[in-house]
Amino acid sequence: MGVSVMKKFSRLNFATKLMIVYICALFFAIGSVTYNQIHASAKILKEESARNLGMLTEQVALNFRENQESLGYSIYSKMAALEIPSLMDAYVQPESATTLADVRYALTQMITDSSDYNYVLIEMLDGTRVHTDGGKYTIPSAVKDNCAAILDTHRSVTYGNSNWYRGTDGGVYILRDVYAISPLRRVGKAVIHMRGNIFSVSNVYENTGFLFFDSHGKYLSGAGMEVPEEVRRQVTKDLRDNAVTRRDNWLKTEYYMVSSTSGSWITVGICSTAAYREMVGRIIYHGVLFGCIGLLLGIALLTMLMRGLVSKLTQLRKAMARVSDGDFSQHIAVSGEDDISQLAQTMNHMTAKIQELLEQLVEKERLKNEAEIQILEYRYRSLETQIRPHFIYNALETVNSMAKIRGNEDIVEIVQRISR
């Protein structure tokens, strides 16, 4: 197969061969440059996107941590302002006038339209539990069950810290100890159910989602773009396997992500790769487009150059054919200073030199022939000079003899006088 192709290629004329080789070389060069540029641009775009998402995630993680601390502080301040810790402490004291109704009334004052929570469950040291249900807000039973389950499960002392949990209903709950101020002592526990999203981001980041995990990798809440459940599960798994940032091939995944740790919280920023894939598609499109334009321009330029080259080569070939037939008067018109023009000049110089040599050769032959003719004429004259006396002498002898035979003395005397 390869041999037959090479044979067919070898039979092509020079212009066609040059065109094929040039197009192949140009295609390879433009293809290589286009591929490298596309690859480099995609890499830069990926690095910039990851860097921007990383910076944004770090900022969101810091804001989330500050928001959590602020929420915990505001809840404790609200309880202290309503004297709930004091009422809880007084309720468990012997002979106290504080009733359970007093504690419940103060507790219900925590829930307002502007509060970040809608349900509070407290447990006093004697095990008595009081909640805010029964007011103007209807609380689902799942919220009550989750609050009770958190109190039953987490019995350890929090020492004033706010522990955050995600319930089976998907809600966010805060568990913290309640302390009376004077004297300072623990008087019970409180579980607060947060209303809606506990953290929100600017609409500027609506195409980016954030997932918040505790130090054990347990998912708490999210903000920003709604992240599909299967993606959240995969992120949770990757977070436990320390593989959150190992998704390198963005063209085959729908999301890319970056994690950031702030305090005891882990924030994972998630962004769709749709914009990245769209941008890479544009880069590929424009790269291929400009590559094809460059290829077409190169072919057009080569065609223009080949047209002049082939024209000069054709003139040179025809002139050489006429020279081979013996016509040395051929002169090729020279335009430019390229290699073909120099070759044409050399051809003109060669034919002129041959013509000059032929003329010199003809002149030498003419002179040689004239010299030979002169030599022959000289020899003829010399021979003639040598032959003429003998011929006359012999003729006179013959005349003299015939005159003697006939007895003509006058003729004999005349011949003898001439011979002298």
Say if CB 344 and CB 315 are below 8 A apart: yes
147 neighbors 191 (Cβ within 8 angstroms): yes
Q: Is the dihedral of CA 357, 360, 362, 364 positive or negative?
A: negative
- pLDDT at 148 > cutoff 90: yes
User: What would the mean pLDDT of 235-264 be, rounded to a whole number?
Assistant: 73
Share of the chain above pLDDT 90, in %: 7
Burial class (CB in 10 A: 0-12, 13-18, 19+), 125: middle
In this structure, what token pair is assigned to residue 221?
């809440």
Q: What's the one-letter identity of residue 284?
A: I
Percent of the chain with pLDDT over 70: 84
* Better-scored residue on pLDDT, 11 or 139: 139
Q: What average pLDDT score do residues 162-179 get?
A: 88
Predicted pLDDT at 409 = 74
Residue 309 has pLDDT above 80, yes or no: no
The answer to whether the CB of 126 falls within 8 A of the CB of 92 is yes
Matching residue, tokens 């969101």: 60
Q: 270 - beta bridge partners?
A: 209, 257
Give the C-alpha separation, 211 to 266, whole Å.
8
pLDDT in the model for residue 90? 84
Q: Which helix H or strand E contains 41, and what residues bound it? A: helix 14-81
Asked if residues 288 and 34 have their Cβ atoms less than 8 Å apart, the reply is yes
Per-residue model confidence as pLDDT tens digits over 394-420: 776 777 777 777 777 777 677 666 666
Q: What letter does residue 166 receive in the DSSP assignment?
A: E
DSSP H helices in 327-407: 339-406
pLDDT confidence of residue 193: 92
Lowest mean pLDDT among 19-23, 213-217, 245-249: 245-249
CA distances, 345 to each of 223, 329, 333, 350, 352 (Å): 81, 14, 9, 9, 10
